[in-house]
Every structure is written in structure tokens, then in C-alpha cells.
Structure 1
């Protein structure tokens, strides 16, 4: 009998090289970009509804988040010129190129919107900048998921359909949490609804992602990634449960906001850790490949028939 084949690669090395990114920089970049992008969308909705204090707080949060996200990205790149050099060309097929241009265009919009909100000057220009930042916000919040899924990392690439929705839900929950934490109770009606919407959307997308990943989904429930993602589910659920009560109790708003923000952080760091773990284990690369080959072989018509 032939022994069962192992998934070890030559010399015991993984088949796919694990990402060289620093978790603090890139997972933090994932979170901050999501908070900024979703925050701009929510700020525009609040601005239109007359909740100017909460909208202003989110605009400042958005510009601060995108600034820190850019700094984290540049720190991971090592040399600032590596970021600016990516702006020399536009390559729609490259998520990194598109993302660099998104940050470069979104940043000034977010900055102008925040400056107008804080100073009270140029309200028309501020409103236009708010609209521009909100228009680009969804892409800023989710393009990092596309960037990760475009790699060969099994846990990210295998979830290329669901991961942007996981990030979108997480980003909306985080932005809602910031609004509940920073805004007055009278202006948090929209944020209370979007907090629940973001939490439910993230949970649904996470469930579908795990189903699609199959055996690779174990990386989402084991080790560091498992601990982080379990904490994310608990924190996000607690935040969504407290959010409706924030209209009556300030403490509920603070608790909900802190829990939702912390849950979003855990989601991004958990997904990052799962990707690294999946790349380090050859079984998560070879197993899905063999399953796809077997599925294609079954779908091929019988030549003898």
C-alpha cells in the first residue's frame, strides 16, 4: 500500500510564502482605512440630517484615521518614496496602485471637510468636500480586502468574494461606534441603526466566508486568529446590543462605541493572523488545489460516453 501523501513541500518549507507585512502596520492600516472610509459616509448622512456636532467629530476622526493609515503603510514600506513612486502610474489591474490613488485623492477631501467643520468657514466648500469623501469612502473602507484577496495567501484569496463585505460591515460598525462615543445622545439616531446594520452584515459575511473556505476556515478559529475573531464577535455583539439604549443613557453609548471599535480592531488583526497561519501550513495550499482539481474532473464529460 502506498502511504498517504503528506502536504509538506520540499525541505519542509511552506508552498506559499507568508506575508512579510508587519501586523501592527498592515492590520492597523486595514482598520484605520475602514474607520476613515465608513466614517466619511456616515458623516455625510449626519451632516445632511442636521446632526452637525456628530458629523464634525466623524470628519475629524476620518482625516486622523487616514493620516495614521498612510503613516502605517509608509512605515511598512520602509521608505516614503516607495509610496510616492506608486503615484507615477495608474494601473487599474493593481489593487495597490488603485489604493494608493484612493488615499491620495480621498485624503484632501477628508481634510477639507474636517477643516471646514472645525473652523465653520467655507461651508459650501466643506459640504462639497464632505460629499467627495463620502463618495470615495466605501472604496477606501473595502479596497484593503481586495488587496489581501489578490495575493496567494489561502485564507484571503479563498474568501475573495466575502472578505470585502466582512470589511465593509466591520468598518460601518466601527464608524457607528465612533459616532456613539463622540456624539451627543440627541444626534445618534442614525448611528444606532447603522451600528446594528454593520454588526449583522459583518456576522453574515463572516459566516459565508467560513463556509466557502472549507478546511482553510480552521485558521479563523485556531491560535491567535481564533482568539481575536472570537473576541471580535463578542465585542461587536455587545456593542450592537447596547447601541439602541444609547439614546437614553450616555453610558450605554460610550460602552457601545468602545465595544464596536474594539471589535473592528480584533476583526482586522484576526483576519491578518489567519492569513499568515494559512500560508505557513502547506495543507491549506495543497488541499484546496486538489479539491478543485477533483471537482473539475467530475464536471468533465465522460470521454467514453
Structure 2
């Protein structure tokens, strides 16, 4: 089968299409003929070597965490899924595995049936950012109409889910986006929008109970300037040092720096499926064919994307 892999850390130039044997499955696994794979920032952080403490340096490596497709084969102990089911899911360890290929073998516990009302591109966009949005809201604590929340870089996939889910909670949400995403941010639930191309949210004089930096361009050091006492800064794209040191540092500071690592589970996915059934929108801004996987990553890594970027495989 064809798959996308790389044999050294680097830019998109290291990505290449290679031939590998079709995966074999264990008793608890399913084999999925992949239809689509969505792109997440963690994909290129791993590829560039920024996460090598966790990913290791053994090559070749594969890319892509979230996928959708059709069940081709099920293991002998799998009873909840069958051949022909339309599904979406995630690889177990995105530091060492990847879904961007013609087939993927994964545990049945990491695969869910695709809602009939969404397409494969939308389904592949759900797991990582959708679950991260649910987990981020949990880490915010009690949300009231007076809770001031700032979402920096609110137009991407995580922002799309987060804004819509927060809207149901009733917080006062400020979204920081580019000019091209203002209308999307408002439609998803932002009470107000700051265009970073013309305004600097750090100098506007407003302070927040929660700051979540989806773009990674603000950072905790800058965010502290606009955080209230006993507030939280949520970091969904942390580096290894953040992951290791912040739990200890938070013991000694009132403005907490919370690391967010998405961990899809049945509970979180069911919450997202319920929201989708009740009208949550999934916007896919651009779809690239498998043969243009390198171009897809180049496009996504430039930033400023509204919603998700997806690669169509089969």
C-alpha cells in the first residue's frame, strides 16, 4: 500500500510516498480503508523534531493522527464494528504511528461510527481537536456569563469546536483571528472579535479569567499581562519542557499554565457526536488529494486557516 513517511526530521521536503505491506490486525483491532486524514499542528511539530524526547528518533516515521474510512476487516474479538461500516478514529500513539496511507490498523476502541449527516472529510476532522475542545472546557472550571475567555488563534479546527461548545456554556468569549475569519468566529459563538492584523489584544486593557493560545503565538509570558489573579492559561500545543515542568511551577503561582494533551475516549467522542447531532458545524476549508500531501502540509503550516485542512486518500 502507499503511505506517507519521512526518514529524517525536517520541513515538508522530507515527506515522501513509499510502498509498505498492507497492515495485519490483532484480535482487538480493525483494518480501515482510509478515505480521509485531517491535519493537526502536532503533525509538523513531531516531523520537525520538536517532540523528539517523546517521539524518539527511529525512522521511518509516519504522519497523520485523525482519519475516516470504511472497515475492511475486523479482529476476532471485535463485536461493535463490522466490515463495511463507515467510521472515523485515531491512531493509538501519534508520536510513533501515522494514519496517512491507504490502510490503517487500529484498536477498535479508537474507532467510532461516522454520523450519517457528515461526510468523510468532516468526520476525519473530529477526534483530536474536538476532544481537545471538550477537555479545555473542563480545565476552565465553572463558566458563568461573567467568565471572560480569550481564544487566541480562534479560527482553526480547535477554535471551531471550542467556540461552538463554549457558546452552550454561556461564557463571555473574545476571539482573536485574522480578518478573513471574523465572520466565522462570530457565527461559531464569539461575543467579540479582535483582528490581530489591526489590533493588539495585549494592549487593549481587558483582563481575562481564561486565556487559551491555539496558535502558539502568544505564550504564557505575554498572556500573564492580560490574566486576572487566579486565572488559567491553557496551552494545547506545548513543548516537552512545558509538559514536564508546569505541574510543579503551578504550585507556586496563581496564574496557572495548564498543558492540554488531547486524549480521545468514548466519553469525549460521545459528547461531540451529541453536539454534532444538535447542529455543531464542521467546516473543512480545503481538501487536497493524497498525491498532494506535501502541498497540503505546506498550506496548513502557513496558518490563517478557517476550520480544517484534509487530505483525501481513497
Structure with a larger share of its residues in helix: 1
Structure with a larger share of its residues in strand: 2
**What TM-score does the superposition give when structure 1 sets the normalisation length?**
0.27
Structure number with the bigger relative contact order (C-alpha 8 A, sep ≥ 6) is: 1
Higher-Rg member (1/2):
1
